[in-house]
Structure 1
Amino acid sequence: MGLITEFKTFINRGNVMDLAVGVIIGGAFATITKSLTDDLIMPVIGYVFGGADFSRYFVRLGELPAGFKGNPESYADLKAAGVAMFGWGQFLTVLVNFIILAFVIFLLMKFVNKLLAKPVEEAAPAATPEDIMLLREIRDSLKK
């Protein structure tokens, strides 16, 4: 019974719920970032480098299986058929996705930190304790 109670306490903590919300929002954010990368950025980069899709850049390492009916120049068809390939174009696409996502998160965190930053206020000088005041009076009296 104690283990179940501890588990309920753990699940009901705010941090676990925040994490669950973060994972769900992160999943939705990932689809937006994928679309941003696949539909807007990669076509421009692909155009500059001679094509709109980096996944077509690969080196086929294995032979085509018997009865292969797909396009031998299609990364997706070859991958579906289980052909061994060095898919450097697909890796480049994933790497660019990651860099864009990391940069967007950096900008988001920078914005949030700016919103949450409190202006630095000058701290008011602390009141001088009574015993210090008394010692100063004694010092001043002795100087006279």
Structure 2
Amino acid sequence: MFKEFREFINRGNVLDLAVAVIIGAAFGKIVTSLTDDIIMPVIGKVFGGLDFSSYFIALGPVPPQLRGSTDYLALKKAGVPLLGYGEFVTQAVNFLILAFIIFLLVRAANRAFRKAPETVAEAADVTLLREIRDLLKARA
């Protein structure tokens, strides 16, 4: 069983997949930082607030000690039912950025690895017939 497991792990696809998952996780953190620290504050500023991810609608009663609070995490911790649309928008933008970057990477890879059309060598008899045709045309 250990031998089979070792053969499974040594396949190129498994190792490639493991590397892809690790790089993908690190790349995801970069995109999350780009979204949370650069893009969403700008969008939040345009829509009237600095932290867009904390936009929410309270769907239930708010405890008296938190009345008027805009602290999304504190309200959620207190058990207030919240519709956190700001966090959803943040994650949707994060996904779109990641999907677009992956699209650009795949597109570039496809262009880089595109094979040039191969020229097919003519058969000897076809070449000979072309030469005969050209000689006959030259005589006329």
TM-score by shorter chain over 0.5: yes
Bigger mean CA offset, 21-30 vs 34-43: 34-43
Structure 2 residue runs without a partner (length 5+): 130-140
Equivalence for 1:95? 92
Deviation at 1:100, TM superposition (A): 0.6
Unaligned runs of 5+ in 1: 134-144
CA offset at residue 57 of structure 1?
A: 1.6
Task: Deviation per CA, 1:53-108: give whole Å up to 9, x if none.
Answer: 22222111233458x67983111222233322111111011001000100010011
1:11 aligns with 2:9: yes
TM-score (norm 2): 0.77
Mapped partners of 1:102, 1:76: distance in 2 = 28
The CA RMSD measured in Å over matched residues stands at 2.5
Q: How many residues of Structure 1 are paired with residues of Structure 2 in the alignment?
A: 127
Amino acid at match of 2:21: V
Once the two structures are superposed, residues 96-123 of structure 1 have per-residue CA deviations (whole angstroms, 9 ceiling, x without a partner) of: 1000100010011111111111222332
Q: In the alignment, is residue 117 of structure 1 matched against residue 114 of structure 2?
A: yes
What's the counterpart of residue 137 of structure 2?
Answer: none
Partner of 2:55 in structure 1?
57
**Measured at CA, do residues 75 and 122 of structure 1 come closer, stay the same or move farther in structure 2, by a change above 3 Å?**
same
Tell me if structure 2 keeps the 8 A contact 1:46–1:54: yes
Q: Is the 8 A contact 2:59 2:82 kept in 1?
A: yes
